[in-house]
Structure formats: structure tokens, C-alpha cells
Amino acid sequence: MTPDSIYFTRTELDRCANMRDQKQRLKQLKKFKPCHYVPVYLGNHLYLKGEDNFFHSSQPIGSSRDETFLGVLNDELWFSCSIKESEARALEEKHQASFQSLRQYALALDDDQGHIALYSRGMDLWHRRRVFCSICGTKNKAASSGHKMVCENGHEQFPHIEPAVIVLVSDGDKCLLGRKHSWPPNVYSTLAGFVEPGESIEDAVHREVYEESNIRLKNLQYFGSQPWPFPSSLMVAFKAEARSDDIRLDDEMEDVRWFHKDDLIKWVKQGSIILSPRFSVANSLISNFLGQEY
Ligand SMILES: [Zn+2]
């Protein structure tokens, strides 16, 4: 696994950000170009099992006030539509399918579909959480084809993204993985945490690893990033080497351990250790360390 193979980031979709404020042009294009409208309910899509895809329509769905222009793919326009519960239930009934989290079917989607699903999920969740202005509390209205919210007093708000760091710490043939109390049994992953206000991304890596394991780092190396709208993160991934190997746990972690490469491969194959899902950047980091996809 290389940074180029991080899930959800490989796409030919052109976001065409300059078109978001060109209302008339977009209106004209809708008449002449094929359009795809993706209904999204609470961040979830209507997953069509037999087709390995999620439902999208050539016609608008729900109210156009809740429509977001995603961009252009293969000369076709893509929109996401935040729909109401009644609309979601009617679609489920009609297609004999259900709105499901992307986590359930991410691996069934191709690169472009995976990206569109993730992107529309992020926009939908942001719209639902920004019904009111975070400054004055009056009602927000979508602008710029869904990419901006403006309240009655003219306060502008843009999609909210929370950066988080994630890091594979190694010491020769060993890597440092941990698990939180709330995780399912036997699941281990790379250490991660949110960047705090006033803190650089690099400092956040050093702090998080030290807090969760007592390990100090050297040779921090950027690996790649992954949008993670669960609900609104951006994962910034690093590799680093340990300056010490003496682990001490904090309350947040149930366990943090050094895993030798050979043991980890053996235990993952046996199923006694379970890694984060293959579409996560944590899995990309671990697979990169092990030299093969797991
Ligand atoms: Zn306001």
C-alpha cells in the first residue's frame, strides 16, 4: 500500500468550484448535460445491493433548496440532495433497499463512486448541523450551490472540517498499535487524535503518541491524508520512528503494544487480531509497514 492507494481519494471528479456561484450557467448546463442526483439521509445513501452502487436519479429529488453541486465527472453533473425522513422512507419502499452507512459497503464501490459517496455524506451532515447560524442563532439559508450557509444577519459559514492526526510508529520490525475500551474485541489500530487549537499538526502527532503510549518520536514523515466525514474529520497520516520503547498507558486506551511484523501478519491471518477496515487510512499505514495489503 502506498499513499496513492488511500481509499476515497482517487477520483476524476472535477469539483468545478468556479461554477458554484454561476447560477444561470448551471441552470443551462442542467438542460443539456446528463445529471445525477444522489439522495442522502443523515449522511447515508440508499445502497442497492445487487448493483454494488448507491441509488442516484437523473431527476432532482426533494427540495432544490437542499441540493449541493458536487462537480463534473465524465462530462456529467453530480448533485447531492439532503432529503427528509418521509422522502427516505418512500425511496426505501420503492427500491426495496435501505439507507445505510458507507462503512457497510465502501469496498463494493469503485473509486469515483466511493469519492462521491464520501463527499456527499460530508456535505449532507454539515447542512443538517448548520440549520441555524452558529454566531447569532437565526435560520441559515444555503448559498453557492450548497457550499456556503448565510443567516438572516448575513453571517457566512463554510463547511466545518476537524483535522485529526494518525501515525504508524515503528521501531525496526515492530510497530506500535493500540485499542480503545469501546472498540470491538481484538481490534487494534494506529494511534490517532484531534489537532487542538493553536497546535501544529506535527506537534499534535508528538503529543497524541506521548499521551497514549509514553513513546517519544523521531523522523516524522508525512504519509497522506484522507477525508473522513464521520462526521467531519480530515485524517492526516504520518509514519514515525520511536526514540524509546517503554509503553505507559493513559485512561483513554485499553491497550497499546509493540507488534513484531511476523507476529502481526500471523495473528491477522488467524483472526486473533483484527485491523481497521481496508478503506481506512489506518489500514493503509499498517499495510504499508507490513509490505502487503491486509
Ligand atoms: Zn448569524
**Per-residue model confidence as pLDDT tens digits over 155-195:** 999 999 999 999 999 999 999 999 999 999 999 999 999 99
Residue 135 Cα, ligand 1 centroid: separation in angstroms?
5
User: What tens digit of pLDDT does each residue of 35-90 get?
Assistant: 999 999 999 999 998 888 999 999 988 876 679 999 999 999 999 999 999 999 99
Residue 230 Cα, ligand 1 centroid: separation in angstroms?
26
Check pLDDT > 70 for residue 255: yes
Q: Examine the domain organization and report whether 198 and 250 are in the same domain.
A: yes
Say which amino acid occupies 163.
P
Residue 139 Cα, ligand 1 centroid: separation in angstroms?
8
Domain boundary among 109, 128, 147: 128
Average pLDDT score over the chain:
94
Q: What cell was used for 269? A: 491471518
Check pLDDT > 80 for residue 4: no
Domain that residue 156 falls in: 130-160
Residue 241 Cα, ligand 1 centroid: separation in angstroms?
46
Q: Examine the domain organization and report whether 213 and 170 are in the same domain.
A: yes
User: What tens digit of pLDDT does each residue of 267-291 get?
Assistant: 999 999 999 999 999 999 999 999 9
Domain boundary among 160, 176, 203: 160
Domain boundary among 128, 143, 171: 128
CATH code, 212? 3.90.79.10
Residue 229 Cα, ligand 1 centroid: separation in angstroms?
24
Residue 150 Cα, ligand 1 centroid: separation in angstroms?
7
Q: Which residues of 92-131 are buried (b: 16+ CB within 10 A; e: fewer)?
A: eeeeebebeebeebbeebeeebbbbbbbbbbbbbbbeebe
Q: Examine the domain organization and report whether 214 and 191 are in the same domain.
A: yes
Q: Examine the domain organization and report whether 95 and 172 are in the same domain.
A: no
Which residues have CB less than 5 Å away from ligand 1 (the ion)? 133, 135-136, 151, 153, 155
Would you state the pLDDT for residue 63?
72
Percent of the chain residues past pLDDT 90, beyond the cut: 91
Tell me if 67 sits within 8 A of 60, measured CB to CB. Answer: yes
Q: What cell was used for 214? A: 509514553
Q: How many domains are contained in the chain? A: 3
Residue 158 Cα, ligand 1 centroid: separation in angstroms?
13
Residue 88 Cα, ligand 1 centroid: separation in angstroms?
30
CA distance 59 to 79: 10
214, exposed or middle or buried, with CB in 10 Å at 0-12, 13-18, 19+? Answer: middle
Q: Examine the domain organization and report whether 70 and 107 are in the same domain.
A: yes
Q: Examine the domain organization and report whether 279 and 186 are in the same domain.
A: yes
Residue 137 Cα, ligand 1 centroid: separation in angstroms?
6
Tell me if 109 sits within 8 A of 117, measured CB to CB. Answer: yes
Residue 151 Cα, ligand 1 centroid: separation in angstroms?
5
User: What tens digit of pLDDT does each residue of 96-120 get?
Assistant: 999 999 999 999 999 999 999 999 9
Q: Which residues of 154-186 are buried (b: 16+ CB within 10 A; e: fewer)?
A: eeebebeeeebbbbbbbeeebbbbbbeeeeeee
Would you state the pLDDT for residue 64?
62
Would you state the pLDDT for residue 65?
66
Residue 249 Cα, ligand 1 centroid: separation in angstroms?
43
Tell me if 124 sits within 8 A of 130, measured CB to CB. Answer: no
Residue 66 Cα, ligand 1 centroid: separation in angstroms?
19
∠ CA(165), CA(269), CA(237), 5° rounding?
10
Q: Examine the domain organization and report whether 25 and 80 are in the same domain.
A: yes
Q: Examine the domain organization and report whether 110 and 196 are in the same domain.
A: no
Percent of the chain residues past pLDDT 70, beyond the cut: 98
Eight-state DSSP code of residue 65: G
In this prediction the pTM is 0.93
Residue 133 Cα, ligand 1 centroid: separation in angstroms?
5
Eight-state DSSP code of residue 19: G
Would you state the pLDDT for residue 50?
84
Residue 149 Cα, ligand 1 centroid: separation in angstroms?
10
Q: Which of 75, 79, 72, 73 is nearest to 57 (CA)?
A: 79
Q: Examine the domain organization and report whether 28 and 107 are in the same domain.
A: yes
Q: Examine the domain organization and report whether 20 and 70 are in the same domain.
A: yes
Task: Tell me the pLDDT band of 1, cut-offs 50, 70 and 90.
Answer: low
Q: Examine the domain organization and report whether 93 and 136 are in the same domain.
A: no
Residue 67 Cα, ligand 1 centroid: separation in angstroms?
21
According to DSSP, the residues that pair with 255 across neighbouring strands are 179
Q: Examine the domain organization and report whether 101 and 74 are in the same domain.
A: yes
Residue 172 Cα, ligand 1 centroid: separation in angstroms?
53
